[in-house]
Amino acid sequence: MLTPLTVTLAVAALALAAWCGWAAYRDQPTKDWHFIGMAVVTLLALAQLVVGIVKLAGGEDPADGAVIFVSYLIGVVCCLPVVGLVSLTERTKWGSLTVVAGAVVAAVLEVRLHDIWGGGAGA
């Protein structure tokens, strides 16, 4: 897998979590800028999905299996759009906290993706 992209995505997700956590601390809902941040992280996840599928198509295999690997890739892509929609329905600080939770989950999924691929063995 492409380790720099994985690290970048995890750091961006944690930065988004901190940013939305600050908004929640100040009793603010998610704002347009937060949604732009969610879009950036989602675009990084889409790029990672494409890179992962290209690597699989090129004959490289993850250590824990291709089905699990692709499932995690799809999970990362879907994570922030889902919590973004939830935060639209909850226009309080709890909407911001929902994004915090989703962004942390995305970062944890990145760590797991790294492990599934082989812990850097093919980076």
pLDDT digits (tens, 9 = 90+) for 36-48: 999 999 999 999 9
Q: Residue 19 has what pLDDT? A: 96
How would residue 60 be classed by pLDDT, with cut points 50, 70 and 90? confident
Please state the φ and ψ torsions of residue 122, each to the nearest 5 degrees. -115, 15
Please, what's the largest Cα pairwise distance for the chain?
49
What are the residues whose beta carbons fall under 8 Å from the beta carbon of 121, sequence distance 6 or more?
Answer: 63
How would residue 117 be classed by pLDDT, with cut points 50, 70 and 90? confident
Nearest to 76 by CA among 42, 40, 52: 42
* pLDDT tens, residue by residue, 63-116: 888 899 999 999 999 999 999 999 999 899 999 999 999 999 999 999 999 888
How would residue 61 be classed by pLDDT, with cut points 50, 70 and 90? confident
